[in-house]
Chains A and B, each alone.
Chain A
C-alpha cells in the first residue's frame, strides 16, 4: 500500500488509470493512513511499510524518510595486528561466519590507526607513516636527492573466501617503522561493494 494513493487535480478526483491533461495542475495528496505495514500510530505520524519508515512532523512535513537508502550495519567490531620491520604485504584477516554467504563482497567503513587512545587520530581505511630519505636518482649515482618514502602502510579491506563468507582484514608493509600495533575499527554494511 502506498500513502500516495490518489492524485487530485483541481476540481476533480482522478484515479491512477486516468490520462492526465496538460492544463491540469497536479497536486499530490498525502492520504493519512492509520495503518500501513505492521505498525499503527494513533496520530498517523509514523508509517512503517515493509522495511521503510516515514515520520511526519506536526506541520505535515516529512522529517524522516526511510524510503531513501541508508547505511545499515550488519556487523561491527575491532581488530589489531602487529607489524615489524621487513613485513611486506602481510595480511591479517578474520571471517564473519555468522553472516552466512554473499553473492558479492559487502561494503565496509573502517578506521585504522596506530594510536591506541580514545582521542587519537582515526584514518579512513588507510594509514601511511612516511619519512624523508636521500636517494640516488640514477643507478649507482650520488645519494643527494631527498624523497618522501613510506615506512609503514596499512589498509583495511573486505572480501569473500572460497565459501563466499565475508572476511575483514588488514594488509600492511613495514620497512622502517619498528614494531607497531595497528588498530582497526570496522562496520560491515548491508550494501554490496559493486
Chain B
C-alpha cells in the first residue's frame, strides 16, 4: 500500500517527510516505487530507505500532507505512528479512521477505489487549514468568458470522484 514516510524527533515533532522514492536497477533506470508500508509491516528498517540524523525514528502515514506535516507531532503505538496531533490546535488525525474509510471504499468498489479526496497523493498533498483539518479543494478555473482555440468550451460535468 502506498504511503508517505514521516521522520520525527525525540519530542515527536515531524522533522522530515518523504512522499515517495523510486527503486532503480543497476543501470540506474527506475523500475518502480518503494512500498514503505510493506517494508514496515515486514519489520524492515526504515534506514534502508532514508537516513535522517536529527530524527529518532520514522514511520509510515497513510495520507499525503506534504510539508504541512511539520505542524504536527506524532503519537505512536509501539513502532507505528497512530495519530498526528496538530501542535497549535490539538486537532488529531487518526490512522484508524483513515484506514477504516479506505477499507470501506475498497469493499464498496470491489477492490478498486479512488482515494484521492481521502488521502491525497504523492506530490499532490491534501490541503489543510491552520488547525490541521482537511480543507475542501475548491478552486476556480480560467474565467468562463475567455474563448478557446479551435473548440467550444466543454460543458461542465460533476466530478463524482469515482
Contact = CB atoms under 8 A, between A and B. Distances in A.
Most chain B CB within 10 A, of A74, A78, A99, A102, is at A78
Interface stretch (B17-25, B77-85, B100-108, B152-160): B17-25
B53 A94 contact: yes
A117 B131 CA distance: 11
Contacts, number: 78
A76 B51 CA distance: 15
Q: Report, as a range, how many residues of chain A touch the other chain.
A: 20 to 34
A97 B47 contact: yes
B101 to A, nearest CB: 23
Interface in B1-42: 5, 7, 15-24, 28-30, 34
A185 B50 contact: no
Contact of B21 (A74, A80, A102): A74
Contact of A75 (B22, B53, B67, B127): B22
A72 B24 CA distance: 13
Interface of A: 51, 72-80, 92-100, 102-103, 116-118, 181, 183, 185, 187, 190
Given A75-B20, A185-B67, 16 more contacts: A73-B123, A78-B16, A78-B17, A78-B67, A92-B54, A94-B16, A95-B51, A99-B21, A100-B28, A102-B28, A103-B28, A116-B71, A118-B127, A183-B67, A185-B66, A190-B30
Which 7 A/B pairs are nearest by Cβ-Cβ distance?
Answer: A78-B67, A77-B18, A95-B51, A74-B22, A75-B21, A98-B49, A76-B19
Interface of B: 5, 7, 15-24, 28-30, 34, 47-54, 66-71, 122-123, 127-128, 130
